[in-house]
Chain A
């Protein structure tokens, strides 16, 4: 009863989403060491590209929307890097400052989108604050799996396969990994670091946007808060992967999706925990993971992992 059909389908669906949203996050952090709050905006902007295409231009073709969203969010990610992250990093700002700057960016993008929805509402009299589910023409519908499931599977597969090919088999991918491991050395050995970094941002940002498009075929009502309400879960998934390993991020996606769907169903059925407790479960998992497996590396908890007893003077 708990593991019933709908719960399993939801787990799979959410796993697809978390995969598509978190793997680019891990990849971008690994390469650039930037904790990017504006990642939430990429999800929202991807969804809203599809929404504006549908609401303003009347187009509901997923392949078109995905491509456009990819370009839009990819460019935003590159723009952020060029205008904000790189100048800050060049000045030697600590990672927390870059994170705070990304928070400023997050605020800017969020309210710019609100303004855009207002303008669109003014000209078309449609409500963009809460937009209904979009039924796409180029995805099979009717009997069988929902559009979101089919599209989700497609996007997730494409993401995983293309990233694998990119990172393992191509020169550019190897350059990305080199820059991630040791930027200075990579630059010395002739890799165009700036280009590689920007390309990473473009690809990562774009994938997230494409995922956002699929979201519009899943959710009954998409709002401009979409990215913000999911960002903590997305980061949780990336933290499971330690912000380094893409494979573990993938595992994390399945894990968190399971916690949210199967976990809460279990608690509800056997312990009578109200379904409204779901966010509590998610955040407890996030905290547990963060505390039990703190991410390594610069900015991670490295210095204190070997502290045994209280030592040293005050």
Chain B
């Protein structure tokens, strides 16, 4: 009896849910509900503050759509688009979103002009520059019946979706993935951007032509940077120069110490140029620090396309540095391509932004996707893939000829040379000053006098 009482007193909580606990739990659940409602309200707010709607989604191929009431009902095709609207590449992604809008409008207009009674709709999803989300997005597209997806942007993301799209026969067209390890034939991955091997050759030719013979290649320690550096080294050696490679860690907040190490290496090796293979953020960071180094300000600098069109490079520090070292960069470009110039003009006119890197490749990806769907005859992955290869053979767009090589990557790519010159609204601007033609670099103007 006593033991029983003792046990009852000392272990009151066994199996009993006290009233306070119930109250607390209800409150917690209520709070969660409020927060979920907050999420919904947030979306409402987001929609309210957003202006301009991209023509929104519908389910692929089905005729049971929302709008369109004109007599012969238009057939609507959906094309999935997965963009890095948040995360590391979000500044580029946002510009791409606008390019997509433009491209779909042009595509629909073109298709109407040819007399097809169809409409293409973009289903845009953000993949946050993350691999898992890219896969998630592609799966969602597939589950909505979509068979063609534009994107994802990074090679790491393409690698993760490859198995899924190959099994489920979904065509992927990436405008910006350049990893050599994805140059695989007979799969469902297509890339409307040329391999970096071509650009490395141009950069090597440019450097050699400008008179440098010993360079230090300062490159990102990732697949892009390493592959590019390896190609550059090979081509530069063929021409008769020597290259020393220094990789640097990506994703750091600041590169002052790396640049210092670079400076001491340049000095000790007696190099006459630095070749920088970077993206925009790290590129701008490195150039700003290089501007403060007397050693680095005394050699020539050559850059890959990564930092091109990034606003951070138009700061005073970098602009002055550019003219001091006569900075020259390469980038994929069909120079004086009227279609590209037109795209550029319309972007500025309509959205107030200059096209960023790979915008033209993205634009052409959209166009190719649309025409491939039409020419395929049926909305089926295999048929669309076959049609895509054919369409690309004769299509010329802002990115030039879009023909694919046997691995599904852009076969022909021309390159241009760019510089940073004074002028423009921010004090400095990017200028295309030359092109690469049959093994030599031809300058259309001399940017640094």
The answer to whether A and B come from one shared complex is: yes
A135 B317 Cβ-Cβ under 8 A: yes
Stretch of B242-250, B403-411, B416-424 with 4 or more beta carbons under 8 angstroms from chain A: B242-250
B258 proximal to A (CB < 8 A):
yes
CB of B96, distance to nearest CB on chain A (Å): 14
A277 B249 Cβ-Cβ under 8 A: yes
B285 A219 Cβ-Cβ under 8 A: yes
What residues on B are CB-neighbors of A225 within 8 Å? 253
B284 A274 Cβ-Cβ under 8 A: no
CB of B404, distance to nearest CB on chain A (Å): 32
Chain B interface residue count: which class?
Answer: 35 or more
CA–CA, A265 and B49, complex, Å: 50
Of A6, A7, A13, A127, the most chain B CB neighbours within 10 A belong to A6
Asked whether A135 and B311 contact (CB < 8 A) given A1-B264, A7-B257, A260-B257, the answer is no
CB of B144, distance to nearest CB on chain A (Å): 26
- How many residues on the A side are at the interface (Cβ–Cβ under 8 A)? 42
B257 A132 Cβ-Cβ under 8 A: no
How many pairs of A and B residues are in contact by the CB < 8 Å rule? Answer: 131
A221 B312 Cβ-Cβ under 8 A: yes
Q: Is the interface of B mostly helix, strand, loop or mixed?
A: helix
CB of B60, distance to nearest CB on chain A (Å): 30
CA–CA, A265 and B268, complex, Å: 13
The residue of chain A having its C-beta at the shortest distance from the C-beta of B94 within the complex is A121
What residues on B are CB-neighbors of A278 within 8 Å? 249, 252, 257-258
CB of B314, distance to nearest CB on chain A (Å): 7
CA–CA, A229 and B263, complex, Å: 24
Out of B86, B253, B257, which one reaches A265, CB within 8 Å? B257
Q: Considering the complex, which residues of chain A in the window 1-51 have a beta carbon less than 8 Å from any beta carbon of chain B?
A: 1-2, 4, 6-7, 10, 13-14
Asked whether A223 and B257 contact (CB < 8 A) given A135-B315, A274-B221, A274-B246, the answer is no
What residues on B are CB-neighbors of A13 within 8 Å? 256
The residue of chain B having its C-beta at the shortest distance from the C-beta of A274 within the complex is B247
A129 B91 Cβ-Cβ under 8 A: yes
CA–CA, A1 and B270, complex, Å: 13
CB of A22, distance to nearest CB on chain B (Å): 15
Known: A132-B315, A225-B253, A276-B258. 6 other contacts (CB 8 A): A6-B264, A7-B257, A10-B257, A13-B256, A220-B318, A223-B281
A-B contact pairs, 19 of them (CB 8 A): A1-B267, A126-B311, A127-B312, A129-B91, A130-B91, A130-B284, A132-B284, A133-B312, A219-B254, A219-B288, A220-B255, A220-B287, A220-B315, A221-B281, A229-B253, A265-B264, A275-B261, A278-B249, A279-B252
The 9 closest A-B pairs by CB, nearest first: A220-B288, A220-B285, A132-B312, A276-B249, A229-B253, A132-B315, A221-B284, A6-B260, A276-B221
